[in-house]
């Protein structure tokens, strides 16, 4: 995420320093609190569906919905979050996959396709 994108996100969603994580590898990531703040401000509803759940691999699909002018909930995006023995050292893989799916679907819903949520890098 470049400086202009970060500034726009800060302003558009009234984010604070705690909502952004500056990774030592050089990129900026939206934290869990930032993702949830954006979700609340935009009134984005999210549904989760377990696609795969085993001790070695968990995949969760997240679908986002926004209301139109008539109050109807319209599907906006679908994406997946995963946690496996290859990308997660934690034993609570379902929770990690859910956090990753939430971050990805919120970020995609607001149009930040090239941005990552902090949960994409955590727990590796």
Determine the Cα–Cα distance for residues 93 and 90; give it in Å rounded to an integer.
6
- The position carrying tokens 């970060």 is 6
The answer to whether the beta carbons of residues 33 and 18 sit under 8 Å apart is yes
Average pLDDT of the residues in 93-106: 96
Distances (CA, A) of 73 to 11, 23, 47, 110, 117: 26, 36, 12, 16, 24
Backbone angles phi and psi of 81, in degrees to 5: -125, 140
Structural element, H or E, at residue 75: strand 73-84
Q: What is the pLDDT of residues 3-15, one digit of tens each?
A: 677 778 888 999 9
At 37-85, the pLDDT tens digits run 999 999 999 999 999 999 999 999 999 999 999 999 999 999 999 999 9
| Domain extent at residue 15 | 3-120
Q: What is the pTM of this model?
A: 0.83
Beta strands in the chain (DSSP E): 20-22, 28-30, 45-53, 57-67, 73-84
Structural contact between residues 48 and 60, judged by C-beta atoms closer than 8 angstroms: yes
Domain count across the chain: 1
pLDDT at 89 over 50: yes
Tokens 């703040």, residue located: 37
């Amino acid at each position: 995420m470049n400086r202009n994108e970060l500034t726009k996100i800060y302003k558009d969603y009234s984010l604070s320093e705690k909502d952004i994580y500056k990774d030592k590898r050089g990129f900026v990531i939206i934290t869990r609190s930032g993702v949830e703040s954006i979700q609340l401000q935009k009134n984005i509803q999210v549904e989760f569906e377990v696609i795969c759940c085993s001790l070695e691999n968990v995949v969760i699909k997240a679908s986002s919905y926004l209301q139109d002018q008539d109050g109807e909930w319209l599907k906006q995006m679908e994406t997946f979050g995963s946690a496996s023995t290859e990308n997660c050292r934690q034993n609570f893989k379902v929770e990690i996959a859910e956090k990753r799916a939430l971050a990805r679907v919120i970020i995609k819903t607001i149009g930040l396709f090239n941005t990552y949520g902090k949960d994409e890098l955590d727990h590796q």
